[in-house]
Chains A and B, each alone.
Chain A
Amino acid sequence: MLKSIVNATVLFILIACTAYLAFHYAPVEKSMGIIQKIFYVHISCAFSAFVAFGICFYANLRYVFTRQPKADWLGVSAAEVGLAFISVVLVTGPIWAHPVWGIWWTWDARLTLTFVLGLLYVSYLLLRTMIEEPDKRALFSALFGIFAFLDVPLVYFSIRWWRTQHPQPVILGGPGSGLEPRMRVSYLLMWGALTGLLILLLTARYRLEALRASVEELRREAEVR
């Protein structure tokens, strides 16, 4: 418990420091001005969400092939944490869009596919609440999780494949793209701090799932007696 509090405090300080760097070390972008500072949290959360959904995909595949409960625990934990990160993306995006585009939201490919990604993982978690039997619940949700992950590459490549309202990529976007060096440092540090947060949340959520499995086992034992 004490270890978790220390970890969370260290991480909080680290995130606060990276936010300070994003505001004071990274220069103000010329065309958008101060509103571009949302970039650091918006993009870092998007990449962290992809990492979480990638872990979920790996765990789902592993469950399908090995039927180990631990793979199921990791799958649901990563899905829930990924959903928290993608929620931040879906909230910060419109706040950034409104002053720049003049609209909060538009149904273009990138935005729509990101919204669908959120809905797919909400459905994944809802599906789990509808099935009582643990093995069946784990298998069905693993299969659905594998299907849900197909949207991740679609979200990532949507701005390359289709003409969208969303800007073209500045990270790994090929010739002509890229960040000013101080912006890059601030972005990478923010992403590093948020990856730390991802690990903290994932570990806590995984422990919760392990505890839930113990409760289910104890309940079964109590019912038998």
Chain B
Amino acid sequence: MKNLDSVLAAYLAGWAIFFVYYVSVAHRMSALREEVERLKGLLNKGK
């Protein structure tokens, strides 16, 4: 079928952008959670 590869490329590119973005949010979230734990530990030590 003519241009089917372009259609598939467009859909794949779209889903790839959303997937990468979701992974980036999850990665940043996990880094921040670790930082919260580290800072809480630091503050508890200082008490």
Contact = CB atoms under 8 A, between A and B. Distances in A.
Contact of B43 (A81, A92, A205, A221): A221
Nearest to B28: A208
A91 B39 CA distance: 41
A186 to B, nearest CB: 13
A84 B46 CA distance: 42
A201 B21 contact: yes
User: Which 3 residue pairs are nearest across A and B when measured between Cβ atoms?
Assistant: A218-B39, A35-B3, A95-B10
Interface residues of B, number: 29
Nearest to A94: B10
Contacts of A204: 22, 25-26, 29
A99 interface: yes
Nearest to B3: A35
Interface of B: 1-4, 6-7, 9-11, 13-15, 17-18, 21-22, 25-26, 28-29, 32-33, 35-36, 39-40, 42-43, 46
Contacts of B4: 34
A19 B43 CA distance: 50
Contacts of A41: 10-11, 14
Contacts of A208: 25, 28-29, 32
A23 to B, nearest CB: 8
B43 A33 contact: no
B42 to A, nearest CB: 6
